[in-house]
Amino acid sequence: MKIVNLKTLEGQEVEGLRLIQPEIFNDHRGFFYESWNQVKFNENVGESISFHQDNISFSKKDTIRGLHYQLNPKPQGKLISCSFGSVFDVAVDLRSQSLTFGSWIGVELSFENNHQLWIPPGFAHGFLVVSEFAQVQYKVNGFWDKSSERSIYWNDPELSIEWPIKNIASFKPIISTKDFSSPMFNQVKIKGDIF
């Protein structure tokens, strides 16, 4: 297992985010890898994490889910993987005291690379499906709580997320009504819905 500390486009490391690249054993039958190990995971993130829920979403190409998060006192950390297809997965730092506050990280998660992204509490999360279909799995270390749930508009100009879209001006995402009506980042900051 290889752990990668992620950096912003400006080259600044984002504290807490981890890209996990499992060791994959291939042979004539196919492949095998260890997708989860509590001891190794806790060693690599530097704290003891207990997961409470496993969630799965299945979506078609051009679907955007997010940017979602839960506020204190019931925040969620998420371990994200893509078991079928491919997604561009995004985490936005919402920790007001962080040197990378308001910065985003985007990585490809796919069936081919088997990478996982650990997103600790304090980040908003979302993804774009880039394959025809994709199945995304989330291990979360807190239960879903409607009263703590928040979101930010996926294409907020202040965040300037570089989604892998050829012509973003004409792009029509498949998106939920709730996500379409999400507030902008500045509104979230003014309201105090950050960490």
Neighbours of 89 (CB within 10 A): 26
The catalytic position among 28, 33, 68, 125 is 68
Backbone angles phi, psi at 46, to 5 degrees: 80, 20
Contact 19, 3 (CB under 8 A): yes
- Residue located via tokens 């955007």: 64
For residue 67, whether the previous peptide bond is cis, meaning omega lies within 30 degrees of 0, is yes
Q: Is residue 33 annotated as a catalytic residue, yes or no?
A: no
Q: Return the amino acid letter for 107.
A: V
Q: Return the amino acid letter for 179.
A: D
Contact 137, 92 (CB under 8 A): no
Distance CA 94, CA 123 (A): 5
Q: Is residue 28 annotated as a catalytic residue, yes or no?
A: no
Least Cα distance to 139 among 49, 72, 58, 68 occurs for 49
End-to-end CA distance of the chain: 30
Q: Return the amino acid letter for 165.
A: I
The catalytic position among 69, 115, 125, 138 is 138
Catalytic residue ranges: 68, 138
